[in-house]
Chain A
């Protein structure tokens, strides 16, 4: 079973920041938080991952709370092409990825 809880769906206006929350209250000390997204009829795309520090790359920022029980993925300037299902996954080391239902993000023009 997935170890995370995400809202089923969210909407965002094009050009605005999209903030996607994720709860992982049972996360262990050696487990990372991974974010993937899946655009319709494609394989999942890796976005970002982190352990306890906030992370940023060319796609997004990942903010992890100090107690590590929740995190937020931030897409700073959402575009229509960011419409997808976003998956937050907790994973330790080389463990397999277990996908939950994710959040369906719709970016509106």
Chain B
């Protein structure tokens, strides 16, 4: 299957700082990527749909000014958590689709905000 990478795999930051998470499709081009968040013992919750060359589409209840998404190329999407707070601590996962639209997921980024 297609490969998606994320960087960093885990990050610890102080409250009030911003954190950038990168999502890359390594062997395919993704015009659309998706960003999810997963809290402990819960399922994945879709945050936003990232579209190459255009603005992201956010799910209801997700603050677009807090979670900035940039899809600069067909292989790279970034999620920036601005002014992070402890409640933003979570497991962030991205996914991208191949030509047949099957979605492949990255390994996830664990964010801890102190």
Contacts and interface: CB of A to CB of B under 8 A. Distances in A.
Interface residues of A, number: 20
Interface stretch (B12-20, B60-68, B78-86, B101-109): B101-109
Contacts of A93: 101
Contact of A99 (B4, B43, B49, B104): B43
A96 B85 CA distance: 28
B18 to A, nearest CB: 23
A92 B1 CA distance: 20
Interface string B26-46: 000000101010000001111
The size class of the interface chain B forms with chain A is 20 to 34
Interface in B86-114: 91, 93, 95, 97, 101-108, 110
Given A97-B95, A101-B43, A49 B49 contact: no
B75 to A, nearest CB: 17
Interface in A95-109: 96-102
B53 to A, nearest CB: 17
A36 B93 CA distance: 14
Given A94-B101, A99-B36, 4 more contacts: A44-B95, A49-B102, A97-B103, A99-B46
